[in-house]
Amino acid sequence: MSELPFYLAAFVVVLGVLIVVHEYGHYAAARWVGVKVLRFSVGFGRVIWQRRLGRDQTEWAISVFPLGGYVKMLDEREGEVAAAEQHRAYNRKSVGARSLIVAAGPLANFALAILLYWVVFISGSEELLPVLGTPPADTPTAMAGVKNGEQVRRVDGEVVATWNDLRWLVLQKAVNQEHTALEVINEQGEIAVRYLHLAAAGDQGWEGDALERLGLRFYRANFPAVIGKLVEGGPAARSGLQVGDWVRSVDGEEIANWQAFVLKVREAPGRRLHVLVERYGELFAVDVESEPISERGRMIGKIGVAVAESAESKRELKTHVSYGPLEAAAKAVAETWDKSVFSLLMLGKMLTGEVSWKNLSGPVTIADYAGQSAKLGLDYYLKFMALVSISLGVLNLLPIPVLDGGHLMYHMIEVVRRRPLSERAMEVSQQIGVSILFVLMAFAFFNDLNRLFSS
């Protein structure tokens, strides 16, 4: 609960930036083609703050419901317009000009994503190397023969530099249910190829961390369960556990290594654990209450301990990744394009039933991820903001009446028919569009609540 204000603040910043950028795209395009803008609002409903600025005295406002925004333009269909200003009305502009105004919002979101990725790529970041851990039995990764400590060099011939690169490439292959070849190298320098058979990947479902269920895990050294560090004031420190304690069992279950200990704690959020430790050759029993923490939409337990370092734990698992300005720009554009195409692909698979609607996320899940990414660091937060910006751009381009894509659809029909749709047809289609959005929002909120209560 103490993290709630931080998570909310991280969510509000993401939401605020994306709304302002999206609506400013509409605003800038409208001004560019000569349309008068009456109001620029962040949020819907009753205006709680406003100020008039500029030659046109445009009203800049913040409204009571913050999940969106709008740009209100001069339009003869919404009221009488003085003869001297009719040439600046939205409805008087050509189909091309109106389409530019409509498309500028989503395009601004894509442009923001490119900018954010560029900043991250040019600034550089610490990334995990693509080193694989021991996969659970009967998963595609285990059946491929992957062994703990193998580092992936290529996926289907494409060079892999980081753990995130590996996850992204395998995720794309898994969604398309393609067979995938991983070229790996072990610590002895021996190279091998591991073949992942992902034809049945969709049967695993895509809720939570789907790649984890496919057996794709990061490397974990086989340390003994010896406590090396304690978080000051954390559950372990408060319970009396000490640095150097060797965990022998938890709730009567023998602990073979550090990873087994971590797994036991993670699976017990908010529970009291009976921990038996060896200290200076003697056994001591300690009760520790794990702290529930939200991670990727589910609750896990933590007690505030870290493993004691060993020669194996000092294996270099990180690399610093950065790019020059031009290379970063090209990579940012490619990243935005790939994520946009993938978002459309996932939406298509939801419509065909190949991917569950449980993957649709609402504001609660987005707020959770915003907080988690902000805690990891600025580069993670900016990449998360870029991803949500892409999702917003893609969503708004869908041909659903009331969305930007719906208005573009009207304009295409107008070009084909050489006249606009009747007001009645637009009214009916917009009612349908509102119904579709309501259903989507209901699904998203239901999924949020389901994740919240199930965890």
Q: Which CATH number fits domain 125-219: 1.10.3720.10, 2.30.42.10, 3.40.50.1000, 1.20.58.220?
A: 2.30.42.10
Which of 304, 226, 225 is CA-nearest to residue 258? 225
Q: CA-to-CA distance for 84 and 233, rounded, in angstroms?
A: 70
Residue count of the chain: 455
What is the percentage of the chain residues whose pLDDT exceeds 70?
93
Check if the beta carbon of residue 64 is closer than 8 Å to that of residue 84: no
Phi, psi of 144, rounded to the nearest 5 degrees: -80, -10
What's the whole-number mean pLDDT along residues 147-152? 90
Q: What is the pLDDT of residues 385-429, one digit of tens each?
A: 999 999 999 999 999 988 999 999 999 998 998 888 888 888 898
Does 240 or 443 have the greater pLDDT score? Answer: 240
Residue 1, pLDDT > 50, answer no
Statement: residue 208 has pLDDT above 70: no
Distance CA 167, CA 173 (A): 10
- Tokens matching residue 311: 């020669």
Same fold, 125-219 and 227-304: yes
Cβ-Cβ contacts under 8 Å for 164 (sequence gap 6 or more) = 127, 128
Whether 23 is catalytic is yes
How much is the average pLDDT of 280-303?
Answer: 86
Per-residue pLDDT tens over the stretch 264-280: 998 889 999 999 999 99
The architecture (CATH level 2) of 227-304 comes to Roll (2.30)
Which residue in this structure is represented by tokens 């067979």?
179
pLDDT of residue 258: 85
- 219 CB contacts (<8 Å, ≥6 apart)? 131, 132, 133, 148, 149, 317
C-alpha triplet 322, 335, 186: angle, nearest 5°: 60
| Active-site position among 23, 150, 183, 335 | 23
Burial class (CB in 10 A: 0-12, 13-18, 19+), 53: exposed
pLDDT attached to residue 45? 86
Cα pseudo-dihedral 62, 68, 74, 77, rounded to 10: -130
pLDDT at 450: 76
Record the tokens describing residue 419, joined without a space.
């006249």
Mean confidence (pLDDT) of the chain: 87
- Which amino acid, 348? G
Q: What distance in Å separates the CA atoms of residue 201 and residue 170, rounded to the nearest whole number?
A: 11
Alpha-carbon distance of 26 to 262, in angstroms, equals: 50
Q: Is 169 exposed, middle or buried (0-12, 13-18, 19+ CB in 10 A)?
A: buried
For residue 183, the cross-strand partners are 154, 193
Report the range of poorest mean pLDDT among 87-96, 137-146, 163-172, 290-299: 290-299
Q: Average pLDDT, stretch 15-37? A: 95
Q: Which of 59-68, 331-340, 353-362, 409-418 is the most confident on average?
A: 331-340
What pLDDT is recorded for position 296? Answer: 61
| Cα–Cα distance list, 45 to 29, 38, 102 (Å) | 24, 16, 21
pLDDT beyond 80 at 454: no
Q: Where are the domains of the chain?
A: 125-219, 227-304
With beta carbons less than 8 A apart as the criterion, state whether 339 and 387 touch.
yes
